[in-house]
Structure 1
């Protein structure tokens, strides 16, 4: 499973921001009808994508709660500013 709770929440928040700005385009008084229709079409797609991501997030929560999957933890191994990793010339 490549997605994590954090990555899904990040994607959803980005998509929500896009819907906010797409709604602005739909409501623009200075835009022509073609632009508004194109924006409305894109809005429908954005909303479907958000729904898909929300379903995936709920399913991931369910799997965690049921013990079906466990999050994989990646440890950080920092090497900079550690003298034991300095190459001596």
Structure 2
């Protein structure tokens, strides 16, 4: 499994922010029609990306709920600021 629930939610959050800000740009009064068209074309792509991610998340959650997928949990092993891992002085 390449994606986790958390990574998909993160990607969805990011694309939603991009959609919001691109829509703001497309709605500006001081832009050329060409710029507005480019913004709207990008919005179409972003909406497709968002929908694909949402579908992937929904499928993953369904698979987890049914038991078809069991997510792996990996602990973080941080070594910085831990005196046990301090390099000996030369």
What is the TM-score with the length of structure 2 in the denominator? 0.89
Q: Partner residue of 2:75?
A: 75
Q: How many residues align?
A: 88
| Aligned mates of 1:34, 1:87 — CA distance in 2 | 58
Structure 2: which 5+ runs fail to align? none
Structure 1 unmatched runs, 5+: none
1:25 Cα shift? 1.2
Distance 1:19 1:86 in 2: 45
Measured on the aligned residues, the alpha-carbon RMSD in Å equals: 1.3
Q: Could you tell me how far apart the structure 2 residues matched to 1:21 and 1:3 are?
A: 26
Paired with 2:19 and 2:76, the residues of 1 have a C-alpha distance of 35
| Structure 2 match to 1:36 | 36
Give, in whole Å, the separation in 1 of the partners of 2:23 and 2:76: 40
Structure 1 pair 26–86 and aligned structure 2 pair: CA distance change class (3 A): closer
Q: Tell me the TM-score normalized by structure 1.
A: 0.90
Q: Does 1:50 align with 2:50?
A: yes
